Amino acid sequence: MIGLGAASILAVMRQFHIRQVSYVVVAGLVFLLTVNDGSWASQTYINYWADPPTLKMYDKQLSTTDWFFRTDKRDLGLWLASQPGPLLVPLDEVAESTTRAWIMAAYPDVMPVPDTFQIPSNTRLVVPWLLEINDIRRDTRNYALLNSGVIYILPPVSEQTHTALLANIDQAQAIRRPNGDLMARVAPITHKVTFEPETKNILQLALGFGSDLWLDGWRGPDTLSLNNNAPIYTLDWAANRQPGHYYSTFLQLQSQDAKRIAGDDVFVLRWLYPTTMWTRYGLVRESTTGNGAVPDSHSLVLPSTISPGAYKLVTGVYFSAGMRLPAISLTSNTPLGDSAVIGWVKVPQPNIPAIPARAIRIQTSLADKISLRAVTADTQFDGHLHLSLYWQSMTNRPDLDATIFVHLTDSQGKIVAQQDARPWGGQYPTFIWDQGETVQTDYTFDLKNVPNSGDLGVEVGMYTFPDLKRLAVTQDGITSPDSAIHLGRLSALSGNVF
């Protein structure tokens, strides 16, 4: 600006043929002005960095330097890079762009490892302070091992290991920043580190996405508790080849009619191990050495209004908005669209139904997996029959999706009325029943126009789609020839005269 002003003055002076001495005077004034303004600007800059302004961030007064450059991450990164011996650090911390930048020189290589990986006996646990929550990173079960220039990405640790690791962390050694703020707590690892097993589920699909990626499995709860409204799931990804894109993944919890209940999208380890760095390797479950799957964690925030029942876990991969990779079943080579169901999870009944004292008890078995324990029948003056059946699972998560049939038959065995439905209209299917869990199903029949309805017989049972084959029935120790449970006459069941 000074130069532009001086040039303008000199241009005017030339038009009026000002004597040369005047040019010298103007040049001297410009020089003095430049020195004065330069000194002022320099001192202003020095004063700014000596005492930078502050702002309120994360309930703490931070300088703009600390906020913008995240000097807390710089201090932690420099400390991590200077430490000898192996360190166990939360993966979320290592994957922070600032932390990763400061440990890059000391740990240039990254490698995911399988479940068979062993943590060195002299490993120390480092739990960093997190400015955003004013606490240490205590909730995560995803860790990385820093050792000999390599960052090993571990599978999520088991809940037992996580509890043991953090049992006394608040009393562990405190590592502080140069300004005295807490930076991390460090403790020796005295317990064996075990990893969370893959979730066993009725869907055992090998899933491919495009020509680059495939899903080796997933980890997380198959029963959701409303006390934990943000369950964590980890997808185990592998590469068929080195991908050419930075991929993102999504995980959704969907109702049976594909309505989205909760979801989470992530850019997979963007600053630590993006998909463009992945290399091809064999099945994790067959590998005892070398690389493992890449753990991809998602948090699903559940609505407080979620109903009991079965819900689908659905995942997919994309590299830009609207550009999802096609999913395919590698087992049957069947296209699945732009996403795939990887399993079912259960929201349990808030209260297990109690069998009423007035109920008629029954000893039955269906395919040695499900039992009908009791039945109640109530008739109303308006001719409506209310029937309740009390089922109990004999195994954990029976590997069948059964439909219940209820038939009312006349004396000739002809069906007068019937209802066929999956439990709770399909909301609580048999494949999510836990061993010993009682499930009540209810039915209403309008019999006001049915003569002698008290003489109607009641038979119930189960069958599966698409073959419509009934489950074999044993009643009172005797095999039923028609695979149905015969409950007797309505008048006997209800105790009322129709």
Instruction: Report yes or no on 276 lying in a domain.
Output: yes
Long-range contacts of 332-336 (CB under 8 A, 24+ apart): 336/207
Q: Same domain, yes or no, for 282 and 334?
A: yes
Q: Are 219 and 156 in contact (CB under 8 A)?
A: yes
Instruction: Report yes or no on 464 lying in a domain.
Output: yes
Q: Distance (Å, rounded) from C-alpha 238 to C-alpha 385?
A: 56
Q: Last residue of a domain, which of 297, 321, 347? A: 347
Q: Same domain, yes or no, for 223 and 180?
A: no
Q: Are 418 and 460 in contact (CB under 8 A)?
A: no
Q: Distance (Å, rounded) from C-alpha 216 to C-alpha 236?
A: 5
Q: Are 249 and 76 in contact (CB under 8 A)?
A: no
Per-residue b or e along 284-315, where b marks 16 or more CB atoms closer than 10 Å to that residue's CB = beebeeebbbbbbbbebebeeebebbbbbbbb
Q: Same domain, yes or no, for 130 and 108?
A: yes
Give the 3-state secondary structure of residue 414.
Answer: coil
Give the 3-state secondary structure of residue 69.
Answer: helix
For the chain (498 residues), the mean pLDDT of every run of 10, in chain order, is 72 67 74 86 84 76 79 95 97 95 96 93 96 91 96 96 96 95 96 90 76 91 85 93 91 95 95 90 42 91 93 93 87 90 94 94 96 92 89 95 96 92 96 96 91 88 95 96 94 66
Q: Are strands 260-267 and 469-470 parallel, antiparallel or unpaired?
A: unpaired
Q: Distance (Å, rounded) from C-alpha 392 to C-alpha 373?
A: 7
Instruction: Supply the DSSP string of 326-352, one letter for each residue.
Output: PEEETTTTEEEES-EEEEEEEE--SSP
Q: Which of 239, 234, 213 is nearest to 291 (CA)?
A: 239
Q: Last residue of a domain, which of 347, 371, 386? A: 347
Q: Same domain, yes or no, for 149 and 86?
A: yes
Tokens, residue 242: 């080195």
Tokens, residue 69: 């450059």
Give, in order, the Cα–Cα distances in Å from 2 to each of 28, 39, 64. 13, 14, 30
Q: Same domain, yes or no, for 211 and 343?
A: yes
- DSSP annotation of 426 reads G
- DSSP annotation of 171 reads G
Q: Last residue of a domain, which of 301, 325, 347? A: 347
* pTM metric for this prediction: 0.82
Q: Same domain, yes or no, for 328 and 423?
A: no
Q: Same domain, yes or no, for 424 and 484?
A: yes
Q: Same domain, yes or no, for 103 and 127?
A: yes
Q: Are 300 and 276 in contact (CB under 8 A)?
A: no
Instruction: Report yes or no on 399 lying in a domain.
Output: yes
Number of domains in the chain: 4
Q: Are 415 and 409 in contact (CB under 8 A)?
A: yes
Instruction: Report yes or no on 94 lying in a domain.
Output: yes
- Respond yes or no on whether the N-terminal peptide bond of residue 466 is cis (omega within 30° of 0): yes
Bridge partner list, 207: 215, 329
What domain range is 34 assigned to?
2-50
Report the pLDDT value the prediction gives residue 286, as an integer from 0 to 100: 38
Bridge partner list, 88: 125, 145
Q: Which of 237, 240, 244, 226 is nearest to 306 (CA)?
A: 226
